[in-house]
Structure 1
């Protein structure tokens, strides 16, 4: 599938090695595939959720995707999923905190019904769970000093300006910068997002390259910076979308399909989508294109 590669920054940063760990212990996954007596599974999953009045969701406490603030579950995924499940007749999300690498095993073990964590859709994960259609894409952006003194807007302009760009260690943005022709000596590696913001403010780098979602969230606590409009980087001429979605247990296809029907209504209504998620740094640039399909993403 040439148009929609499976590389995902969030896959790199959020212990994607754990997915590999899942794949090397197939016996354990098979053992975990049976759900407990209290889980909603099979064709009657949605009916069961309606009767009990809640859906059990897992989150990894990662802002702005899914996190607990006080006693309230917030973020892109819970906000969107709450809206969808209310439309399906299920009024409450009952949250369970999980480590990132335990999200899919916990789903398979029947500890919850849906993963609400903004998880990237990759073929490896599709082998072990069901994904909704994309809830969002993750266009890239640049964090710069207030006023954008070098007037950069994307990687092409960054290359032309000869600036120094910061990227996260182990993240795919380094490949984006290299693919745009930025010299290795002008690509600086940082360990965490705040390090990137600090390097921009301190003049050690001219711009910090990350998803627009993450940078807009980071800018809230770094007022001396600003974030460029988001753009889609390319590798070998292929646009990089990095989409994410809700995750369901295998066997819950009917529940996933019902979810997708309501999701489609929201992503087809730009103002509704933005109104729901702009608090978390998601805007029209994060709306997934209609041609971007999970079935294609799962093929790789």
Structure 2
């Protein structure tokens, strides 16, 4: 049993402006393993190698997976590029989807992999297959510059009578509810910038998200600041917010091939930081070896 039972990664979030059509990014790759398909019994990985590309979905959330100047950027695409290239697939073809439409689109066969840093939680595990964790990311809060209510975590925000904002479909709402917030004190927002704008405009006192996301967002919103990260507690269990790649049910061998390459990277801190350090990930976000998706998926 993992020493991190029931750790949940944040509900992956955001939705940005839709990017029309497929955004082809040469050099980004993906893989599968032996999921049988209609191609003469060839494995899914073999099919992807033959066609030369893998279809991935992203939700336009920096720094996890987002479009910038016609190119797919972020932690997940960059990490997945290295993994899938090692598996012999030389192109990643991404398409945008609203966050809460990512898994339905995967189930419908619109793409092969979700590259969005999605939180590994039991409800999602019932619908799709997750890789082992790619990272962990404790929670933080974005507040007005100077932190006028001296907020440090959800408990302090509740005590101060604060109103908090969360992204639609994200696990942060469950964190706020567990901390005692009523529905009226939780405002649902559609994208990250909406949260920053709500803080700046005084419509909420704090925007709750992963520290990684909020620090990235603060770069373009100088009127706000981000608290130190903290670990929310739900039903007595700490929530470390691990995230990973997502595959369709029945793609176990594809996922396993992906995991084998992922382990090579997470076992090498220098390579891990070299690959995705530019997006705010570091040695402190490398998942512990004892943190397993099988445990995270247990209700």
TM-score, normalized by length of structure 2? 0.74
Counterpart check, 1:82 vs 2:84: no
Aligned to 2:129: 130
Q: Which residue of 1 aligns with 2:187?
A: 189
Aligned residue in 2 for 1:215: 214
1:72-221 aligned at under 5 Å gives the runs: 72-148=71-147, 152-155=151-154, 158=157, 162=160, 164-168=162-166, 172-173=171-172, 175-177=174-176, 179-180=178-179, 187=185, 189=187, 191-192=189-190, 193-202=192-201, 206-221=205-220
Give the one of 10, 13, 22 matched to 2:12: 10
Displacement of 1:84 in angstroms is 0.8
- The answer to whether residue 69 in structure 2 is matched with residue 70 in structure 1 is yes
The structure with the largest helix share of the pair is 1
Q: Deviations over 1:41-98 (max 9, x none)?
A: 9772323333443222222333333222232111221111001112223222122334
Pairwise CA RMSD: 3.6
Give the structure with higher Rg (CA). Answer: 1
Gaps of 5+ in 2: 16-34
Deviation sequence 1:133-152 (CA, Å, 0-9, x none): 11223311122333546654
Aligned residues: 276
Give the Cα–Cα distance (whole angstroms) in 2 for the partners of residues 121 and 172 of structure 1: 10
Which 10-residue stretch deviates more, 148-157 or 224-233?
148-157
Between the aligned partners of 1:49 and 1:169, the Cα distance in structure 2 is 34
CA distance in 2, matches of 1:166, 1:95: 33
Q: Give the TM-score normalised by the residue count of structure 1.
A: 0.74
Question: 2-side partners of 1:137 and 1:266: how far apart?
Answer: 15
Structure 1: stretches of 5+ with no match in the other structure: 15-32
* Structure 1: distance between partners of 2:73 and 2:41: 28
Separation in structure 2 between the aligned mates of residue 105 and residue 203 of structure 1, nearest angstrom: 35
Name the CA shift for 1:223/1:50 in 2 (closer, same or farther; >3 Å).
Answer: same
